[in-house]
Amino acid sequence: MTEMSVESVDPDDVDAADILGSAIERREDPALLTGDAEYTDDIQLPQMTHMAVKRSQHAHATIEGIDTSAAEAMDDVVAVYTAEDIDVPGNLPTGWLLDTLNQVDHPILADDRVRYQGDAIAVVIAEERYAAHDAVDAIDVDCERLEAVTSPREALDTAPDLHDDAPGNTAFEWEIGDAEKTSAAFESASHTASIDLENQLIIPNAMEPRAAVADYNPSTEELEVAMTTQNPHLHRLLMSGVIDHPEHKLQIRAPDVGGGFGSKIHHYADEALAAWTAKQVERPVKWVATRTETYLTDAQGRGHETHGEIAMDDDGTIVGLKVETEANLGAYLSTFAPAVPTYLYGTLLSGQYDIPAIHCEVTGAFTNVPPVDAYRGAGRPEASYVVERLIHLAAKKMEMDPAEFRRQNFVPDDAFPYETQVAVAYDSGEYEKTLDRALEMLDYEDFRERQREAREEGRYLGVGFSAYIEACGLAPSELAGQLGAQAGLWESSLVRFQPSGTVTAYCGTSGHGQGHDTTYAQIVANELGIDYEDVDVVEGDTDEIPQGMGTYGSRSAAVGGSALVKSSQKVVEKARSIAAHQLEASEADIDFENGEFHVTGAPDRSMHITEVAEQAYLAHNMPDETEPGLEATSFYDPDNFVFPFGMHAAIVEIDPDTGEIEFERYVAVDDVGNQINPKIVEGQIHGGVAQGIGQALYEAAEYDENGQLLTGSMQDYAVPKAEHIPEMETDSTVTPSPHNPLGVKGVGEAGTIAAPQAVVNAVVDALEPFGVDHIDMPLKDEKVWRAIHENGGEN
Amino acid sequence: MYPGEFDYLRADSVEHALDLLDDHPDAEVLAGGHSLLPTMKSGLADPDVVVDIGHIESMQGIEHDGDTTSLGALTTYAAIDDTDELWEGATALAEAASEIGDTQVRNRGTIGGNLAHADPASDLPGAAIASDLTLVAEGRDGERRIDADDFFIAMYMTDLREDELLTRIEVPRLNGSAGGAYVKKPSPSSGYALIGVAARLQIDDGAVTGARVGANGAMDHGVRLGPVEDAIEGESLTEDTIAAAAEQATDNLDISMMMDDLQASSEYRSHLLEAYTERALARAAERAGATVPA
């Protein structure tokens, strides 16, 4: 149960001038709450067929033969396809390249070998969904099982190769920082601390499973694909190559999307197969993943095995940090897989700290689990987890208070922009502010006293801190290109007045729960000085929106929001010239305020921007050389990432008899820059923290020695429920980003990045009397009980 | 996932149901559907015929007669939870019913379906034993009464015969100085009991005159914890006597047969069984009106 601290307000009760920054109610919620939303599976088209996918039961096997005859003979079966029918490239590409990357084939239907349980082998197109699934069951696949491996370390050390093009199962070897300088720092250090940890594989579990409805018109060659996606334009580009269909004849549309958490960024086989089969059968094809398929095939997150070390001088100043990680990439390279454990991970290893020497080596490994890619936070939670666990151990080693150890090592307020030793420059930050606020909320000194007293009574309380940093809005495009991105990382927008004075704002991001319809309308209404209700927002359709990069990496406000500001400003400038012309004044003498243009010093000589819009479409009286109409398109390419930060802290009590963990407090103080809508910010923090606690305490993709998923349903995989989540106490500070027009940073991933180490540090702090230094996530009660037990604890 | 194709037959009466089951010996019986349908959707069950008994009038309803409450086998968990007489006189059963699943499950799932399905991790077997239920089965030869102690045999296996239907459950109600409780350690994923312990204590003049303790989640079927009962009977209730009795929780159990899975090892379950037995006894004692001195 969580208590909300920000009150929602009705937009009608907010002055137009205050709309930006108000906690107005989300305008998308009524449809989502009443069932009026349209998800992909709600789409029904005439003559529509249904696709189901035959998947590998084995994690690793050669395919000796596929018999589809029984399936083909079944009533209501329209067609059955296997790899040999695929007459297009049919190979899923990788969107991020590294110098050392071993690229491997990733066919949309496996031809001679399957590499994870769930790998697609054949598809059935049938008149209805049940018939399609029954026919899939009738396909007989003759397989020869091979040895399977699910741990990256084992895959690199001993397992047989998954791919001919990746000897030793090595996907890449990558490093960042200065190895020599870091070694020297460790040699001269007075103290060190180290950790071996696993950051376990997580299954994303968006509420809406992946789905697609593809509709092909053979006369026009237009192919329309409605699908659950976070980035329609990127899917259009990738899919056009995979199924060899011209990009301008391909429309990708995201209806309402029920969550993604990263898993709907990537281009998968299934959506491509739905599109390709629609062309084959020349009828609409619908595919909706079952929950089982979601568990087996959605790209998973995390999956690191890491050794980390930290070095301090005599007074507890950090002098060096080194990290070696084996990253699980799964069976194939998913769309952005190579970026996640490298540039989204190694670059964040300085945390909030001024660390003079850092070195990080990462080896990517192919294993027999589904492809691993971005999952809420993507690389940054893994980095923050390593850093904050090491900081906890370092403070203990130094016999220093963990809060004061952090304070001593923070990047100081006057050091921004701060160049880290791992290639990024933090834009702005005031780290002590969030620490101080968190300590105040925790009543920290009092807690330490209570902790001492409780221990004397045989009760075990602990506090854990997480001073997290994240990097959002990966940018600029030139830098992304140098690092290996096969895409730009700008955002585009179009802001269009209608003649009657209402506005439609189009943005190339693609919200799937974030509330963009509300926040983007706030941004545009504020820029144009018009009513919030007069702005409509359109996202998620390649035929409506000029171009776009999508929603992920907490980029929408910082990059998409800035693109909307840029277009709005262009609209205002054009409107200014029209107003100047009609008011018979020079443009330089026209002021713009709250939607009103007026001649400087003569407030009576004025035109509202909505009147200018009407005039722009009448076009009866326009300045020379000015085109009719009032709209503008922009591409916004940010100067840098934005770097939100904050301090989360958990207080837990452990029952030493059973290992059960109970939350006493969860405090979150976040600085995400300027806030467009504090209610949405708070909601993002709450959801993110819940997901982070899920990883800390409950969630893990667990496999047996044959690579079979043991946690393949919600019966066995614990997605946290309301009863598992503590009441959260949230507060925020505001340190604007200096380099985007809104001064915003990003909030979508903050809670997920921050929470795991706050919880683990708290549990380890509680168990200090038992000599417990570390427990790998998820901290199931039994693991905690064993840690106590094995250290001579109770019973 | 999607279940395979099956024929759906609806029974109008117990006799009709028995006829249908006679005609289709491999049919599955559908009551509330909250055990059967998930197993069909996951492919664990793939019956050709499903016989729906959910509309049989004579298997519905709750009747109170003297110290006994008779529950139609189709009584939902929610209806049990809503019955004050059961909370007062058979607290462990009412509490167990209130702990099952979520609101939607409790509105659909039935006591008869639950007991007959005999999922070892379900919340009812322990409470059925602790509450001393009598299960009434109807077959061709009429009624047969089965003590809850004798009902659960193994995982998904009960004393019910192929040609019998569980139609009614009789619940003895204890009033006066008696108290019951059901406590569970739910799986964080499924909500099923990793360990669940139900206890019923009768107290006279500060001493325990009757104790029944049952557990689910521990073994392959619901079990009665006799040694715990023996240890607490005759004792006055203190933290020490409760703890000492709870330590007997695994004494009569074959630990090598203790449930052992991804969610909890048998070793941890054994330990939890003691811990949760202690909690169940303490809560039952408190409800029986005993003040438990340290």
The per-residue pLDDT for range A114-133, each reduced to its tens digit, is 999 999 999 999 999 999 99
Tokens of B154: 């193994």
A650 and A625 share one domain: no
- Taking only the tens place, the pLDDT of each residue in B17-60 is 999 999 999 999 999 999 999 999 888 899 999 999 999 999 99
CATH number, domain with residue A757:
3.30.365.10
pLDDT at B294: 66
- Taking only the tens place, the pLDDT of each residue in A186-212 is 999 999 999 999 999 999 999 999 999
Q: Which of B2, B189, B272 sits opposite A658 (nearest CB)?
A: B272
Percent share of chain B, pLDDT over 90: 90
ipTM above 0.90, yes or no: yes
- Taking only the tens place, the pLDDT of each residue in A158-181 is 889 999 999 999 999 999 999 999
Contact state of A716 with B2 under an 8 Å Cβ cutoff: no
Q: Which of B187, B190, B262 sits opposite A710 (nearest CB)?
A: B262
A691 and A671 share one domain: yes
Mean pLDDT of all residues in chain B? 95
* Residue A242 and residue A272 in contact, taking contact as beta carbons nearer than 8 Å: yes
Contact state of B262 with A137 under an 8 Å Cβ cutoff: no
Average pLDDT over residues A484-493: 93
Average pLDDT over residues A392-405: 98
d(CA A763, CA A460): 9
- Name the band, by pLDDT with cuts 50, 70 and 90, for residue A795: very low
d(CA A207, CA A258): 6
Contact state of A716 with B263 under an 8 Å Cβ cutoff: yes
A447 and A555 share one domain: no
**A290/B contact by beta carbon, under 8 A:** yes
Domain range for A776: 427-467+642-795
Q: Which structural domains are found in chain B, ordered by start? A: 7-51 (3.30.43.10), 59-172 (3.30.465.10), 178-287 (3.30.390.50)
Full-model pTM:
0.96
A576 and A649 share one domain: no
A432 and A497 share one domain: no
Total structural domains within chain A: 2
pLDDT at A159: 85
Average pLDDT over residues A608-635: 97
A372 secondary structure, DSSP code: B
Q: Which of A130, A657, A714 sits opposite B189 (nearest CB)?
A: A714
Percent share of chain A, pLDDT over 90: 97
Which of A719, A785, A788, A794 should one mutate to test binding to chain B, selecting the residue with the greatest count of B CBs within 10 A? A785
Q: Which residues pair with B224 in a beta bridge?
A: B214
Q: Count interface pairs A-B at CB distance under 8 A.
A: 52
In A43-174, alpha helices (H) = 69-72, 129-137, 152-157
Q: How many residues does chain A have?
A: 795
CA angle A127, A130, A131 (to 5 degrees): 50
**Residue A197 falls within a domain, yes or no?**
no
The answer, yes or no, to whether residue A384 has pLDDT greater than 90, is yes
A603 and A534 share one domain: yes
Contact state of A133 with B1 under an 8 Å Cβ cutoff: yes
Contact state of B262 with A130 under an 8 Å Cβ cutoff: no
Residue after which a domain boundary falls, among A597, A617, A636 = A636
Q: Tell me how close the Cα of A700 comes to any Cα of chain B, in angstroms.
A: 11
Q: Mark residue A177 as left, alpha or beta (left: phi above 0; alpha: psi -120 to 50; beta: remaining).
A: left
pLDDT at A154: 97
User: What percentage of chain B's residues is helix, strand, coil (to nearest 5)?
Assistant: 35, 30, 35
- Taking only the tens place, the pLDDT of each residue in A80-96 is 999 999 999 999 999 99
d(CA A577, CA B75): 76
Contact state of B188 with A698 under an 8 Å Cβ cutoff: yes
**Residue A436 falls within a domain, yes or no?**
yes
The answer, yes or no, to whether residue A465 has pLDDT greater than 70, is yes
- Name the band, by pLDDT with cuts 50, 70 and 90, for residue A794: low
Which of B44, B102, B189 should one mutate to test binding to chain A, selecting the residue with the greatest count of A CBs within 10 A? B189
**Residue A547 falls within a domain, yes or no?**
yes
Contact state of A698 with B265 under an 8 Å Cβ cutoff: no
Tokens of A383: 């980095």
**Residue A702 falls within a domain, yes or no?**
yes
Mean pLDDT of all residues in chain A? 96
**Residue A175 falls within a domain, yes or no?**
no
Alpha-carbon Rg of chain B, whole angstroms? Answer: 19
The answer, yes or no, to whether residue A546 has pLDDT greater than 90, is no
The answer, yes or no, to whether residue A250 has pLDDT greater than 70, is yes
pLDDT at B228: 98
Give the nearest chain A residue to B268 (CA atoms): A782
Q: Which residues pair with A67 in a beta bridge?
A: A140
Strands A285-288, A49-55: pairing kind: parallel
Contacts of B1 in chain A (CB under 8 A): 133, 290-292
pLDDT at B289: 87
Q: Which of B1, B189, B275 sits opposite A717 (nearest CB)?
A: B189
d(CA B201, CA B179): 5
A500 and A619 share one domain: yes
**Residue A473 falls within a domain, yes or no?**
no
Contact state of A718 with B262 under an 8 Å Cβ cutoff: no
B278 CA to centre of own chain: 19
Decide: helix, strand or coil at residue B234.
coil
**Residue A625: which H helix or E strand, with range?**
none
CA angle A110, A111, A117 (to 5 degrees): 30
Give the nearest chain B residue to A795 (CA atoms): B271
Decide: helix, strand or coil at residue A633.
strand
Tokens of A626: 């000015």
Q: Which amino acid is at A771?
A: G
pLDDT at A3: 46
Residue after which a domain boundary falls, among A604, A636, A668 = A636
The answer, yes or no, to whether residue A405 has pLDDT greater than 60, is yes
Give the nearest chain A residue to B4 (CA atoms): A134
A126 CA to centre of own chain: 35
Average pLDDT over residues A49-59: 98
Tokens of A374: 């971005």
Average pLDDT over residues A286-290: 98
A736 and A670 share one domain: yes
Q: How many residues does chain B have?
A: 294
d(CA A778, CA A693): 9
Percent share of chain A, pLDDT over 70: 99
* Residue B121 and residue B105 in contact, taking contact as beta carbons nearer than 8 Å: no
Let me know how many helices (H) and strands (E) chain A has, helices first: 19, 28
The answer, yes or no, to whether residue A544 has pLDDT greater than 90, is yes
**Residue A771 falls within a domain, yes or no?**
yes
Residue after which a domain boundary falls, among A636, A659, A675 = A636
A669 and A784 share one domain: yes
Percent share of chain B, pLDDT over 70: 100
Q: Which residues contact A89 (CB under 8 A, 6 or more apart)?
A: A241, A242, A243, A244
A551 and A618 share one domain: yes
Which of B44, B187, B262 should one mutate to test binding to chain A, selecting the residue with the greatest count of A CBs within 10 A? B262
Q: 10 Å Cβ neighbour count for A477?
A: 17
**Longest alpha-carbon distance in chain A:** 90
**A658/B contact by beta carbon, under 8 A:** yes
**Residue A720 falls within a domain, yes or no?**
yes
A627 and A652 share one domain: no
Q: Which of B2, B264, B275 sits opposite A133 (nearest CB)?
A: B2
A18 CA to centre of own chain: 30
Give the nearest chain B residue to A128 (CA atoms): B2
Q: Write the CA distances from A187 to A307, A311, A312, A468, integer angstroms.
A: 18, 9, 11, 28
Q: Tell me how close the Cα of A292 comes to any Cα of chain B, in angstroms.
A: 7
| C-alpha closest to that of A310 among A357, A379, A361, A380 | A357
- Name the band, by pLDDT with cuts 50, 70 and 90, for residue A793: low
Place of tokens 């300085």: A350
Contacts of A779 in chain B (CB under 8 A): none
A686 and A769 share one domain: yes
Q: Which residues contact A303 (CB under 8 A, 6 or more apart)?
A: A152, A199, A200, A201, A327, A328, A329, A330, A369, A372
